[in-house]
Chain A
Amino acid sequence: MRKRFFYLSIYAITILFLFGFVLSEKKGDKTKQGTKVDQCFACHKEIENLPKDFSENDIHRHANLSCFSCHGGDPNSDDQDIAMSPSKGFVGTPKRKDIPKFCGKCHSNINIMRVYQPRIATDQVEQYYTSVHGKKLLAGDENVAECSSCHTAHSILPAKDPRSSVYALNVPNTCNKCHGNSTLMKNYNIPVNQLEEYSKSVHGIALLKNKDISAPACNDCHGNHGATPPGLKSISHVCGTCHVSNMEYFNTTRMAKAFEEQDFHGCEQCHGNHGVQKPNDEMIGVGKDSKCIDCHTEGDKGFAVSKKIYSSLTDLKNKYDAANAKYLEVRQKGMNDVEIGFQLQDAKQALIQSRTLIHTFDSAKVSDKTKEGIEFSNKASLLAQKEIDDYSTRRNGFAIATLAFLVFVIALYFKIKDKEKKAS
């Protein structure tokens, strides 16, 4: 009996051992497969030969794409000769002129791209070759920007990522890397002060200072992949992308045609380009800061129209300011400001619309709108005045009440004194 137990134990231990061995073998296999090593990255990291701009956060790395996805080769081999062999598809560093096509291998192929971003555009390379950069690159100029100039080569991040070189806030500085380089720009006869001008402009202040990413950066006017200076005709369209009403009004005027005939640069003619400032009412009219008198002189129709528009505008502006001053007084006095605020909002809206209507160069249209605004301002003024008058009434009421209280207090005082006298 004892012997049988002994043998049974030996069999059991042997079976358990074998079972454990099989299990451990299977587990080992799994580990080996799971930790497949990317030999390109491993070796280049070991010999400290990773690209200068390499970043672990690169979008391609996050999508499990590695060096070989762009540069070819065999990432499974730790033998340099095999890994970087042309027979394994190794292409090495692409020449600058080939970079757009190099990236386009994937980025122009919707079948590849939809796996990563189903809604991504795949016409970047096509657009690029329509741009000044692309055309020049095709012509053999290797100083112009290609994909990696803006996106970097090995630390590419999505444009929505604030760390990205093409994130809205970073675009002006990215473009300026080349466009602010006088040595580089000398060959193209392009000024290098765009960023400086832009930074001081209404758009630049909104974007760079106030961090308002809805404000336009370089690419919003010039395009990005198809970057081209807007042509004369397209300037108003470019500005009109955001300033829709201004564009619509301007394009329907006779002035638009006249501008075209005289090769004037649409919006830019009055507002400038990179250094565009917040417009003010003095830009219209016939004063020294007026843009109209650049072309129009006393006696012509344009001069008279400009004068009328300016007069209507300033009339509304003055009425609005006066009503607003009263409104502030009402608020400061703690009186009812609700309805006045609504009227002033409408007046302000009319003022903004009047300013936009300047682009119709039709004094009657502007004047109609300013009249609306003046009506709102007058209503606001009247309401405010009523509140201010009410406040005076309250003050008078208070004075009367105080007088009554005073009489009562004096009477009480004498009564008390009288009582004290009697008591003593």
Chain B
Amino acid sequence: MMKKIGSKLIDWIDERYDLTPVRNLLLHKKVPEHRHSIWYYMGGVTLFLFLVQLFTGILLLLYYRPGEDSAYESVRFIVTEVKFGWLIRNVHSWSANLLVLFAFIHMFSVFFSKAYVKPRELTWITGFIILVLTLAFGFSGYLLPWNELAFFATKVGTDIVGVVPVIGEPLKILLRGGEEVTGATLSRFFGIHVAILPAIFTFFLVMHLLFIQQQGMHEPEHFKNLPEEKKKYIPFFPDFALKDLLLWVIVFNVLIFLALYSPWELGNKAQAFASAPEGIRPEWYFMFMFQTLKLLPAHILFLEGELLGVLFFGVAGFVWMLVPYIKIKHRPNWKIQPLTLIGIIIVAFIVIMTVLGYIL
């Protein structure tokens, strides 16, 4: 019955607007099946978590009131008084963190399987921009509940921006809306979080998805070398999409579990003149950078250690974005190729620094 109504509706639209290009875009794509197929799902999970963010974010907007005197109170109202407000807010917080985690996993899986090489350079670049925007979402959203930890973490975070030569200080003032973190900072972080970032993000996300849909999934080296008859594919729609959906449902269930059993603490309201509470630390995904800056000596040669660290991460990020254009000579004798080795070192560095950040 439902199926009949559905196909009738599609026919109705098709008759008027000719859905052939959409149908082609959806149906032409085939997904290779091999022992590393699992990594194909990471991007899908990231996309799903983004959709969760979008949905829960819009719901939170119905009650959230930005402002020094209302932000904390409204979040408190959401989690205590609003029906299912606790669920929406906790899912939003958890989903934000899982989104960053899966974005990282997705990025490194693409890197190690070399899926970024020609012709998918732009997919990689748009993906990297999406990751940076996701981190910006995390940073701006962290301040919105206007609690102590967020307030001081934002202070430290924006101070780091101020270290950059020439543009650092004006950029810091632009971000803060003044010399200090105040209600003005909260207002602009809110604007950035709910209007500016979503607009830019949507553009890059649509581009990213179109590129993937157009070019299909990347086939790894070992799969490419298989004889044609041994290569196995499944259609993206509906087979792969169904598997995606299966995983999304599981992830959604995990999200609700986390929201219920490990609710995101709201803490105390931010007080500008209070002394910083103990344990001020950034969100976990900034921890490796924060810890590195902490471990750097005050001065390296004639430069300030912190400045050097910030510049290093800036340059490293830029180089990472341009990975598809980096050509390193293939070494047939090496078990692990140089670029893969660099990737392993980067992952190890991020993991070690993050762990150190929590135990030191």
Contact = CB atoms under 8 A, between A and B. Distances in A.
A binds B: yes
Interface of A: 333-334, 336, 338, 394-395, 398, 401-402, 405, 408-409, 412-413, 415-416, 419-420, 423
A327 to B, nearest CB: 14
Contact of A395 (B86, B87, B245, B260): B260
Contacts of B250: 405, 409
Nearest to B80: A336
Given A333-B263, A334-B86, A394-B87, 11 more contacts: A336-B79, A336-B80, A336-B81, A401-B253, A405-B250, A408-B249, A409-B246, A409-B249, A416-B239, A416-B242, A420-B234
23 contacts: A336-B79, A336-B80, A336-B81, A394-B260, A398-B256, A401-B253, A401-B256, A402-B253, A402-B256, A405-B249, A408-B249, A409-B246, A409-B249, A412-B245, A412-B246, A413-B246, A416-B239, A416-B242, A416-B246, A419-B238, A419-B239, A423-B234, A423-B239
A401 B91 CA distance: 15
A338 B234 contact: no
B228 interface: no
Contacts of A336: 79-81
Contacts of A415: 242
Contacts of B234: 420, 423
Contacts of A334: 79, 86, 90, 263, 265
B243 A416 contact: yes
A416 B79 CA distance: 39
Nearest to A405: B253
A412 B249 contact: yes
The residue in A334, A394, A419 that gathers the most chain B C-beta atoms within 10 A of its C-beta is: A334
Nearest to A408: B249
Interface in B244-264: 245-246, 249-250, 252-253, 256-257, 260, 263
A423 B81 CA distance: 52
Contacts of B243: 416
B76 interface: yes
Contacts of B245: 412
A409 B90 CA distance: 24
A392 B238 CA distance: 39
Task: Label chain B's interface by main secondary structure.
Answer: helix
A405 B242 contact: no
Nearest to A339: B80
Contacts of B81: 336
Nearest to A411: B246
Contacts of B87: 394
Given A334-B263, A408-B249, A419 B257 contact: no
B76 A338 contact: yes
A405 B260 contact: no
Contacts of B86: 334
Contacts of B265: 334
Contacts of B90: 334
A420 B239 CA distance: 8
B279 to A, nearest CB: 18
A420 B238 CA distance: 11
Given A405-B253, A412-B245, A412-B246, A338 B260 contact: no
Contacts of A423: 234, 239
A257 B234 CA distance: 99
Contacts of B239: 416, 419-420, 423
A420 B263 CA distance: 40
A395 B260 CA distance: 7
Contact of A412 (B242, B257, B263): B242
B213 to A, nearest CB: 21
Contact of A398 (B238, B242, B257, B263): B257
